[in-house]
Structure 1
Amino acid sequence: MDGAIHGCRVARGAPPVSHLFFADDSLLFFKANIEEAAVVKQCLIRYEKLSGQMVNYNKSNICFSRNTQMAQKQQVAWCLGVELASNFGKYLGFPSFIGRNKRAVFAYIEDKTGQRIGSWNKKLLSQARKEVLLKSVAQSMPTFSMSVFLLPESVCLSIQRTMNKYWWGTGADRGIHWKAWDKLCIPKKYGGLGFKDLRAFNLAMLGKQAWRFLTEPTTLVARIYKARYYPTTTFVDATIGNSPSHCWRSIMTTHDLVCAGVRRRIGNGRDTLIWGHPWLSDDPSPLVQTHMPEELRQALVSGLVDQDTGTWDPHILNDLFIPEDVNRISRIPISPDYDDTWYWKGHTQGIYTVKNAYRRIMGDYSDDPGAFDKWVTLWKLRVPPKWKTFLWRAVSGILPTTDNLIVKRVEVDPICPMCGNAQENIMHVLILCDYSKMVWNISGLPVTNIQTNFFQSWFIGMMDSLLEGQVRLTVGILYYLWLARNLALWERALPRPTATVKKAVLTEEAFTRLRRVAAQPNATVMPETEPYGLKCYFDAGYRQHTEEATYGVVLLNHEGVFMAASAGTLPGAFSPIMAEALACKEALSWLKGRDIQRVDLLTDCMELRNMIISRSTEIRSTANMHAHTLASLAFDQEHPMYWDVIPPDSITISDPLPETNGDHRERIPSSPLPPARRSIVTGSISINRERRKREMSPDGEEKPPGSNGGGTIPLSTTTGNPAAHPSNVF
């Protein structure tokens, strides 16, 4: 039956599509004639005989293109034994045909989300539990559709209004919206609650499709769209075109976002345009700033490389570019054995992620000068979630006290319901009220000594002056003081101050006890690996403002006694993690030059370590201090420095370093190095270039670097503090 069925082509040059299979949702495409319909029927009958499964023709239907005659439609439908349909409804939950009324097409998403949220109104949940439901269920329901289609803005706003109403309401009752939804969408560390802006999230999801078109042009969907919308160019230069589908329009809304966030990683330079692609550092622009000669419009980066040495040709660079561009190009390492690739600038591994794109769309947040800046500390408190949500409302100044209700034009008595002596506000209810003072005196916590009229200032002073356990108890007392206030307002009764303190103490103790039980790990036996004996510590130094980078390497024997060390500068580092990767490369080259075959390689950069080995370990940075010290000193040196047997004065080791295969670190062996070169790719840089520096021996004589051929170095890599540690940025 080869060639008996002709698939559907969306444009000239597009690959034909004869079928789309996904479990029990299958689509077959063929020409509307009796011959091909008979072939399809035979295929289905043969499938039934071979698999033992039966095709349900009653649940199957067929639809045709507009230019098919009715008689031909009926003939084909009779041959297959299925019903005619104007369209085949939904495929994988997506509408197969989208007309002009987008709101009506996607109304099902709005209805489903509204029904799900409405079913929760019968449950009296705390706002902390509501937050979990909204984030894990309501916000995830439209995610599947958002990954393919751009939803109408009215649909996104309607879903957000439903979520906002549920968040502030109580059961079926509508509550006061103390903060707008866009304020709740601010990250928690800047004073919001971290809800998603659905429109921005929709764009970030669609950007994933655009990223795939750019980086995976050989996939079926990319080939089809290319043949239809940009047959003679690449996705970077693609336009909407004539009569575009809604899916293509949706993807093109993120075209500028994706193209602005990608960069070219230079390998051999054969696929990157000098003046047409972003391949330089972003200072001031990823594009070449030198004026482009018209005859070099299609010139490739490979033309700037000396093919004999595999390095930049300085004569060509100086002839074509201004000095600023020459300097930026010269710092980019070349990997002649690899092709040029795209990478996403905002991710350390160069991969587009919805999370990173969403942050890019929403923009950068920052704390206002003089505003509360302890949000991270607040959300990290080890207290029940509903306590933290209450505390967030108190610090944000949106508790429904009488002064806030009057601002919202609610007619209430402004006098405090607990003491009846003063006008109620947040500071009065929780700290200054006579009843609150009695509670604080019974608790024994020295919080009344903090003199201020603002709750935010009081809370900062409290966290700075109390211990962790006292802070937890203080938050609990604040929460139960608010419950006591509500009891006085609605039931005209106040619990005894001792009862309020007792509730807070018991709840805090029970929660802490449960956390300890939950935190106890299951007893697992980790396989112990045999250490190699020698330990090589390496570290990098990086100065952001000058982009200077250095490395330091210290080699110790199995007893922790100094054997050798090295330090020097690193060229072409654009970030701390890139400097760490280059330092790792220098350490490996240095070890090969000393003909060391087996060694434990240790670093304090968790980010680099996780890029090489998937499993994470705990952190300890003290053992890497000597390598860090050498990297710091290398900023003042013009040439690499080497020490053998006798360590430099700056890192004199009086006692052997502690073992690193105990409780603080775990040793995980990696695969041996290949005989030629080891390539470590991280972020936007591929470090597999030959080491061309001349090394200096201890007696001052120049010696060649170690051979890159022969022998392998099985690594046992352990890690320490993350790359963001201040020791990595000077």
Structure 2
Amino acid sequence: MTKDPNFNFHPRCEKLGITHFMFVDDLLLFARADLDSVKLLFMAFQKFSMASGLCANLDKSDAYFGGISDQERCELQQVLGMANGNLLFRYLGVPLSSKKLTISDCRPLIERVTGRIDTWATKHLSYAGILQLVKSVLFGIQDFWAQIFVLPKKIIREMESRFRCFLWSGKSNPTKKALVAWRFMCLPKTCGGWNINSLEDWNKVAVTKVLWDLASKSDNLWVKWVHIYYFAGKNLWTAPIPKKASWILKKILASRDIVNNIVDGQMLLYSKVIKASMLYALGFTRSVLSFTDELQWIIKYCRKTNVRSKLIVMCFSEADYNIWM
């Protein structure tokens, strides 16, 4: 099909030669919105169905169009025999859209958290039991969304309000004033808190993890797609944010400031000071190298079996663990 001169790739799929995605029992097909390309794509899908015996239910399938007139859309719908789908739609429980996530889009998340709390409200739970449910179950519900989207601050505050009410009253609605401010509850136990993760901080960490994947996992298809269509060989850490990028991609790239503040700020300075003191104590007079060079240097000592080499490896391992963990 792709070798047929009449077939045209989707404008955002041509450079990687993408025609379809498959996930479990779901299939997404991509092509330019012209009659010849759509017919060829649909014929290839029908051949696959005949060969494998796997047939799609067209009544449960939708076609999504963009950048064409209503007349062209109607012609293509007749060829496909599918209903016209509209963004935004939900997939795997989360909304899919290239636009900014609104409060109403996140309302199902609040309703799910509230519904789970309401099922527990009739049970006589201890304070320790409620705390464990907040830290595990309720946090896990929002964690699925937090690792995909930059959640609106109003939604995060509303979820924390639900968590706080459940913790102090056992219900989703406030019945009495909280005895301790929520920000103190999020502190470590050694600082007087209950070690509850801050939802806003966790959302930032999760989005920064996606940024790290963009920078390091070059074998992933979506990472290749982002680099080819938005960066074209430029350095992801220094390139300006593309104006045509989706809202979520802009937010992910904006989190570069968080990483840069950690790498170029006080944490790196603190790491160099500690390592310089350790090198001096071990009898080395050289300066601190980059992380990659330091790693290669310590690997050489890992291969040696004498006592001094084992001491050097142990010191560097403990230093890195305590600095970064």
TM-score range, shorter chain: 0.7 to 0.9
TM-score norm. by structure 2 comes to: 0.80
Q: Does 1:239 align with 2:244?
A: no
How many angstroms apart in 2 are the aligned matches of 1:136 and 1:161? Answer: 17
Give the residue type in structure 1 aligned to 2:259.
V
Match of 2:9 among 7, 13, 21: 7
Give the residue type in structure 2 aligned to 1:31.
R
Task: Note closer, same or farther for the CA distance 1:543–1:171 as it changes in structure 2 (3 Å cut).
Answer: closer
Task: Return the offset for 1:130.
Answer: 0.9
Task: Return the offset for 1:158.
Answer: 0.3
Aligned to 2:323: none
TM-score norm. by structure 1 comes to: 0.38
Task: Note closer, same or farther for the CA distance 1:239–1:107 as it changes in structure 2 (3 Å cut).
Answer: farther
Task: Note closer, same or farther for the CA distance 1:45–1:185 as it changes in structure 2 (3 Å cut).
Answer: same
Give the residue type in structure 1 aligned to 2:80.
L
How many angstroms apart in 2 are the aligned matches of 1:189 and 1:232? Answer: 46
Aligned to 2:83: 83
How many angstroms apart in 1 are the aligned matches of 2:224 and 2:107? Answer: 31
Task: Return the offset for 1:98.
Answer: 5.0
Aligned to 1:62: 63
Aligned to 2:93: 93
Q: Does 1:193 align with 2:207?
A: no
Task: Note closer, same or farther for the CA distance 1:285–1:165 as it changes in structure 2 (3 Å cut).
Answer: closer
Who wins on radius of gyration, i.e. which is larger? 1
Give the residue type in structure 2 aligned to 1:244.
A
Contact 2:88 2:96 in 1 (8 A): yes
Task: Return the offset for 1:64.
Answer: 0.4
Counterpart secondary structure, 1:26: strand
How many angstroms apart in 2 are the aligned matches of 1:128 and 1:218? Answer: 44
Contact 2:262 2:268 in 1 (8 A): no
Aligned to 2:22: 21
Task: Note closer, same or farther for the CA distance 1:588–1:50 as it changes in structure 2 (3 Å cut).
Answer: same
How many angstroms apart in 1 are the aligned matches of 2:148 and 2:94? Answer: 9
Aligned to 2:182: 181
How many angstroms apart in 1 are the aligned matches of 2:36 and 2:210? Answer: 37
Question: Residue by residue, what CA displacement relative to the aligned partner does 1:423-463 show, whole Å, maximum 9, x if unpaired?
Answer: xxxxxxxxxxxxxxxxxxxxxxxxxxxxxxxxxxxxxxxxx
Alignment of 1:302-381 (within 5 A): none
Alignment of 1:649-664 (within 5 A): none
Task: Note closer, same or farther for the CA distance 1:26–1:92 as it changes in structure 2 (3 Å cut).
Answer: farther
Alignment of 1:30-429 (within 5 A): 30-65=31-66, 67-87=67-87, 89-99=89-99, 102-170=102-170, 174-217=175-218, 219-231=220-232, 233-262=234-263, 282-283=268-269
How many angstroms apart in 2 are the aligned matches of 1:601 and 1:548? Answer: 14
Task: Note closer, same or farther for the CA distance 1:192–1:81 as it changes in structure 2 (3 Å cut).
Answer: same
How many angstroms apart in 2 are the aligned matches of 1:122 and 1:59? Answer: 39
Task: Return the offset for 1:128.
Answer: 1.0
Task: Return the offset for 1:603.
Answer: 5.5
Task: Return the offset for 1:580.
Answer: 11
Task: Return the offset for 1:546.
Answer: 6.5
Give the residue type in structure 2 aligned to 1:6.
N
How many angstroms apart in 2 are the aligned matches of 1:51 and 1:580? Answer: 51
Contact 1:549 1:579 in 2 (8 A): no
Structure 2: runs of 5 or more not aligned: 320-325
How many angstroms apart in 2 are the aligned matches of 1:543 and 1:76? Answer: 65
Give the residue type in structure 1 aligned to 2:181.
A
How many angstroms apart in 1 are the aligned matches of 2:194 and 2:252? Answer: 29
Task: Note closer, same or farther for the CA distance 1:259–1:214 as it changes in structure 2 (3 Å cut).
Answer: farther
Task: Return the offset for 1:571.
Answer: 4.9
Question: Residue by residue, what CA displacement relative to the aligned partner does 1:382-404 show, whole Å, maximum 9, x if unpaired?
Answer: xxxxxxxxxxxxxxxxxxxxxxx
Give the residue type in structure 1 aligned to 2:134.
L
Contact 2:98 2:248 in 1 (8 A): no
Task: Return the offset for 1:95.
Answer: 2.0
Question: Residue by residue, what CA displacement relative to the aligned partner does 1:638-666 show, whole Å, maximum 9, x if unpaired?
Answer: xxxxxxxxxxxxxxxxxxxxxxxxxxxxx
Task: Return the offset for 1:283.
Answer: 4.2
Task: Note closer, same or farther for the CA distance 1:586–1:154 as it changes in structure 2 (3 Å cut).
Answer: closer
Give the residue type in structure 2 aligned to 1:123.
K
How many angstroms apart in 2 are the aligned matches of 1:41 and 1:588? Answer: 59
Alignment of 1:615-630 (within 5 A): none
Contact 1:9 1:15 in 2 (8 A): no
Task: Return the offset for 1:102.
Answer: 1.3
How many angstroms apart in 2 are the aligned matches of 1:63 and 1:77? Answer: 10
Contact 1:203 1:253 in 2 (8 A): no
Aligned to 2:322: none
Give the residue type in structure 2 aligned to 1:212.
D
How many angstroms apart in 1 are the aligned matches of 2:268 and 2:203? Answer: 27
Give the residue type in structure 2 aligned to 1:142.
Q
Give the residue type in structure 2 aligned to 1:8.
H
Task: Return the offset for 1:140.
Answer: 1.3
Task: Return the offset for 1:201.
Answer: 0.7
How many angstroms apart in 1 are the aligned matches of 2:144 and 2:211? Answer: 16
How many angstroms apart in 1 are the aligned matches of 2:248 and 2:157? Answer: 21
Task: Return the offset for 1:194.
Answer: 1.0
How many angstroms apart in 1 are the aligned matches of 2:295 and 2:234? Answer: 38
Question: Residue by residue, what CA displacement relative to the aligned partner does 1:279-318 show, whole Å, maximum 9, x if unpaired?
Answer: xx944999xxxxxxxxxxxxxxxxxxxxxxxxxxxxxxxx
How many angstroms apart in 1 are the aligned matches of 2:295 and 2:47? Answer: 60
Task: Note closer, same or farther for the CA distance 1:283–1:251 as it changes in structure 2 (3 Å cut).
Answer: closer
How many angstroms apart in 2 are the aligned matches of 1:579 and 1:27? Answer: 46
Task: Note closer, same or farther for the CA distance 1:129–1:34 as it changes in structure 2 (3 Å cut).
Answer: same
Task: Note closer, same or farther for the CA distance 1:603–1:122 as it changes in structure 2 (3 Å cut).
Answer: farther
Contact 2:168 2:178 in 1 (8 A): yes
How many angstroms apart in 1 are the aligned matches of 2:108 and 2:176? Answer: 27
Counterpart secondary structure, 1:167: helix
Give the residue type in structure 2 aligned to 1:259.
N
Task: Note closer, same or farther for the CA distance 1:9–1:189 as it changes in structure 2 (3 Å cut).
Answer: farther
How many angstroms apart in 2 are the aligned matches of 1:37 and 1:170? Answer: 55
Task: Note closer, same or farther for the CA distance 1:580–1:78 as it changes in structure 2 (3 Å cut).
Answer: closer
Task: Note closer, same or farther for the CA distance 1:85–1:569 as it changes in structure 2 (3 Å cut).
Answer: closer
How many angstroms apart in 2 are the aligned matches of 1:69 and 1:29? Answer: 18
Alignment of 1:574-723 (within 5 A): 585-586=300-301, 588-589=303-304, 723=318
How many angstroms apart in 2 are the aligned matches of 1:543 and 1:208? Answer: 26
Task: Return the offset for 1:601.
Answer: 12
Task: Return the offset for 1:129.
Answer: 0.9
Task: Note closer, same or farther for the CA distance 1:285–1:183 as it changes in structure 2 (3 Å cut).
Answer: closer
Task: Return the offset for 1:32.
Answer: 1.6
How many angstroms apart in 2 are the aligned matches of 1:245 and 1:543? Answer: 42
Counterpart secondary structure, 1:7: coil
Task: Note closer, same or farther for the CA distance 1:148–1:168 as it changes in structure 2 (3 Å cut).
Answer: same
How many angstroms apart in 2 are the aligned matches of 1:157 and 1:174? Answer: 18
Task: Return the offset for 1:584.
Answer: 7.7
How many angstroms apart in 2 are the aligned matches of 1:236 and 1:579? Answer: 22
Contact 1:229 1:238 in 2 (8 A): no
Task: Return the offset for 1:176.
Answer: 3.3
Percent identical among aligned pairs is 20
Task: Return the offset for 1:29.
Answer: 0.8
How many angstroms apart in 2 are the aligned matches of 1:602 and 1:589? Answer: 6
